[in-house]
Amino acid sequence: MTDPIADMLTRIRNAQAVKKTEVVLPFSKFKHNLAQLLVQEGWLAGVEKNERGQQRSFDQLCLKLKYNKSGKSVIMNIKRVSKPGRRVYAAYQQMPYVLSGLGIAVISTSRGLMTNKQARRAKIGGEVICEIY
């Protein structure tokens, strides 16, 4: 797999299309931090790490998906911006607005993962990982 972050976002998108309550994927610290940021911002209901055991040879990440009262997914769209073949960076002055501020962009900075709003407030630029709205 050349892009595990794109795989994670695709798994979330596909699971929400068929109304699943949770998604299980291979664990990495970057994916765990990304999922925690999405929980903080209200896009996911929860995240937990499943340790390796008798049945599994690797750690897993379990994401709890979030739906509104009418059963529609909270995430309308989630898309990868910076890819392995074409990295996209933004200074804090050029930080992207997603859907006029209704969505978020996830930025990888020297201080860790943060949203575009947090990065703009902290005056830090970085790599634009994905956009969610």
> What CATH number is given to the structural domain containing 110?
3.30.1490.10
Q: Would 34 be classed as within a structural domain? A: yes
Each residue of 14-30: pLDDT tens digit?
Answer: 999 999 999 999 999 99
CA atoms within 13 A on the CB side of 35: 28
Element (H, E) at 47: strand 44-50
If residue 37 lies in a helix (H) or strand (E), which one and from where to where?
Answer: helix 29-40
Tokens linked to 129 = 């990982």
Output the average pLDDT for the chain. Answer: 95
Q: Are residues 6 and 57 located together in one domain of the fold?
A: yes
Q: Are residues 52 and 86 in the same domain?
A: no
pLDDT recorded at residue 17: 95
Structural domain ending residue among the three candidates 63, 88, 105: 63
Q: Is 84 left (phi over 0), alpha (psi -120 to 50) or beta?
A: alpha
Q: State the pTM of this model.
A: 0.92
Average pLDDT, integer, range 28-57: 91
The reported pLDDT for the residue numbered 57 is: 73
Give the structural domain span for 45: 2-63
